[in-house]
Structure 1
């Protein structure tokens, strides 16, 4: 699925920051991987590389053979729109749109016809247990329900990989466990590749594989 080779990301300003340093990493099809590490250690930067949201200063980031670091802007936008699903700590839902409308927005860049967008949005909401909340606005939903909508929005594209950045960070312990169980179920049932960044060791322990990143360097965690 992913192959990162000698990936370095350097930010320059008042001082030089090496967010990633010579990272070599492979993530196989259908793996559930948790990434942990201290604040500022490079977790979010790594996820940005995997998602094609940023390009490395040097090295290659291959997704199923395509180097995201070398794709043109149009091809990279297409890859993000069709092949990669994103879930964030802050749900990033549009407050004036219903749950179904929020999910359907993910299909607009792919130019999916409106009727098909609506159908797929309802199917995605059903897959996360929110079919009956399709017409509700985000403000009418709990935090856990809003995160389920965000997950449905990522899944509606039928992506190859799901990238989740602290998806349980705003949730209480009980709701956190519900969201993790949902992600586990999707991983098992759909064969998704999931990369999950988390500070929560209870969440990380549920993953098939654990990575630690600190000082821009990635190691396998026990």
Structure 2
């Protein structure tokens, strides 16, 4: 699924240079559930951005399904993000004036699907996360956990090869956090590749693999 070889990422920040990733080499197989932990500023989100074709490395190679994505043009990267990678974030990023159904359908706009197919995909995605009966509700009428489920449905509706989640339970209470992790685990057992960033060790312990990144350097946890 993913292969990273000696990936480095350097940023200019005011009057200094920041080394966000430092020679990261990593392989993630299809169908794995991987958790990435580490201190704030250690490189977690930067690594996730590399996997999701949201950023390019300063050096090294990033491959997705055998294709080198680190050298693609912006339009090609946008196509990958639209069709192959689903994203879930700590903030749900839902449009408050739209229903759950409409929010999920909006996520399909880059695919240029016919309205009927877009509606069908959104309906199926909401059903897959247990929200078939909430399709007509707006975000303000949903709990935090339900809003995150809508965000997950929006990502799943694209039928991606991989789901990338950045602190997906960070805004949720303990019980709701466990419900969302149950959902992720179920998707993983159905064969979806999932990579998630988390500060929560109880979340990370449910993953098949645990990685730690600090100071831009990656290590595998037992």
- TM-score class, shorter-chain normalisation, is over 0.9
> 1:150-169, aligned counterparts within 5 Å?
150-169=151-170
Q: Does 1:180 align with 2:174?
A: no
How far 1:130 sits from its partner (Å)?
A: 0.2
Q: When the two structures are aligned, how many residues end up with a matched partner?
A: 221
Please give the secondary structure, in 1, of the residue aligned with 2:111: coil
> Aligned to 2:25, what secondary structure does the other structure show?
strand
The within-5 A match list for 1:4-23 is 4-13=4-13, 14-23=15-24
Equivalent residue, structure 2, for 1:84: 85
Name the residue aligned to 1:142. 143
SS in 1 for 2:202: helix
Structure 2 regions of 5+ residues with no counterpart? none
TM-score by length of 1: 0.98
Tell me the residue number matched to 1:213: 213
Aligned to 1:33: 34
Partner of 2:100: 99
Q: 1:51: which partner in 2?
A: 52
Q: Which residues of structure 1 form unaligned runs of 5+?
A: none
Following TM superposition, by how much is the alpha carbon of 1:160 offset from its aligned partner in structure 2, in angstroms?
0.3
Q: For residues 192 and 44 of structure 1, what CA distance do their matches in structure 2 show?
A: 21
Task: Give 2:202's aligned residue.
Answer: 202
Q: 1:75 and 1:110 mapped to 2: Cα distance?
A: 13
After TM superposition, where is structure 1 displaced by more than 2 Å over at least 4 residues in a row? none
SS at match of 1:12: strand
| Residue equivalent to 2:123 | 122
The CA distance in 2 between the partners of 1:143 and 1:68, in whole Å, is: 34
Deviation at 1:208, TM superposition (A): 0.3
